[in-house]
Structure 1
Amino acid sequence: MSSIFTKIISGEIPSYKVAENDKFLAFLDIQPIVKGHVLVIPKKPIDYIFDIEDNLLGEFMSFAKSVAKQMDKVFDCKKIGMTVIGLEVPHAHIHLIPINGIADMDFGKAKLSLPSEEMESIAKMIKEA
């Protein structure tokens, strides 16, 4: 199953990577609902998160946790929120979002459009945290 995420994994489409290992990739959402909105994906193309085998799902959550901990060091927020919706792209993914309240996780609000320089700066800060 090919998706925009498989193209990001292969390097066909550029992304603002914040973390990567042999099984997972984390990068900035290009249509964030708040600054610092990160997507975490498995490199194995699995559509539904609950179809991921148990061991890999545990590693996926551990990887997402490590990215969230990096984000905690960068953003002035109460917590890093996590959500899984899974309808936008047919590839399992976790949204990590710096939040100060539940309204920060409202996917119905207008998406931000940040200049590439700012996206690069945010990605660099998370990577270096």
Structure 2
Amino acid sequence: MATLFSKIIDGDIPGRFVWADDVCVAFATIAPITDGHVLVVPRAEIVELTDAPDDVLAHLAVVARTIGSALQAEWDAPRAALLVAGFEVPHLHLHVLPAWDEASLTFANARTDVPADALDAAAERVRTALRSAGQGAHVPRALGSPAL
């Protein structure tokens, strides 16, 4: 059975895509801890971190670093944070977000009341930051599509 993230990747459920390549996609979460919070998700349905092949895990980490750098610059954050939990969806995903302190890096701070237009605007800022960082080849043509 397809996971929620596979349905987003396949276009069955809307997503706010900021990155796409042959191995993974990244899209904005609907419950951001901070503005710019995105999920880096392998296209393959890998349940958890410890199940990931080394090459996929390495690729996800490089993409997370690239996106994190763009987030850090765009939001003028002192750090880019990376969180891996995976309890809410059984499909490996890396949370990447701009961060100002460790105390705020908790899912208890996830906001579920952010209006759709604010989520769209934050995702578009990520897309613009990635293009400015020379990563335009990986930024999907449209916010709602993982197609390049």
Same fold per TM (> 0.5)?
Answer: yes
Helix, strand or coil at the partner of 1:103 = helix
* 1:4-56 CA distance string (max 9 Å, x none): 10100100011111111111111111011221111110000000112111112
Preserved CA contact (<8 Å) 1:33 1:112: no
Q: CA RMSD in A?
A: 1.3
Partners of 1:44 and 1:8 lie apart in 2 by 13
Q: Work out the percentage of aligned pairs sharing the same amino acid.
A: 33
Counterpart secondary structure, 2:35: coil
Separation of aligned partners in 2, 1:21 and 1:95: 17
- Counterparts of 1:112 and 1:97 in 2: how far apart (Å)? 16
Measured in 1, the distance between the counterparts of 2:109 and 2:56 equals 32
Tell me the number of residue pairs that the alignment of Structure 1 and Structure 2 aligns. 129
Gaps of 5+ in 1: none
Aligned pairs (5 A) from 1:1-129: 1-109=1-109, 111-129=111-129
Q: Residue 25 of structure 1 aligns to which amino acid in structure 2?
A: V
Q: Which moves more between the two structures, 82-91 or 48-57?
A: 48-57
2-structure distance, mates of 1:16, 1:110 = 17
In structure 2, what residue type is equivalent to 1:77? A
Shift of 1:110: 5.2
Deviates more, 1:65-74 or 1:91-100: 65-74
Instruction: State the alpha-carbon separation in 1 of the partners of residues 11 and 42 from structure 2.
Output: 15
Gaps of 5+ in 2: 130-148
Contact map agreement 1:23 1:43 (CA 8 A) in 2: yes
Question: Cα distance, 1:87 vs. partner?
Answer: 0.7
With over 3 angstroms needed to count, the CA separation of the structure-2 counterparts of 1:110 and 1:25, relative to structure 1, is closer
Answer whether contact 2:86 2:93 (CA < 8 A) is retained: yes
TM-score for both structures, normalised by structure 1? 0.92
Higher mean Cα deviation, 113-122 or 3-12? 113-122
Query: What secondary structure, in the 3-state scheme, does the structure 1 residue paired with 2:39 have?
Result: strand
Contact 2:32/2:110, CA 8 A, preserved across alignment: no
CA-CA distance at 1:89 after TM superposition:
0.3
Q: Which amino acid aligns with 1:23?
A: V
TM-score (normalised: structure 2): 0.81
Amino acid of the structure 2 residue aligned with 1:96 = V
Deviation at 1:61, TM superposition (A): 0.8
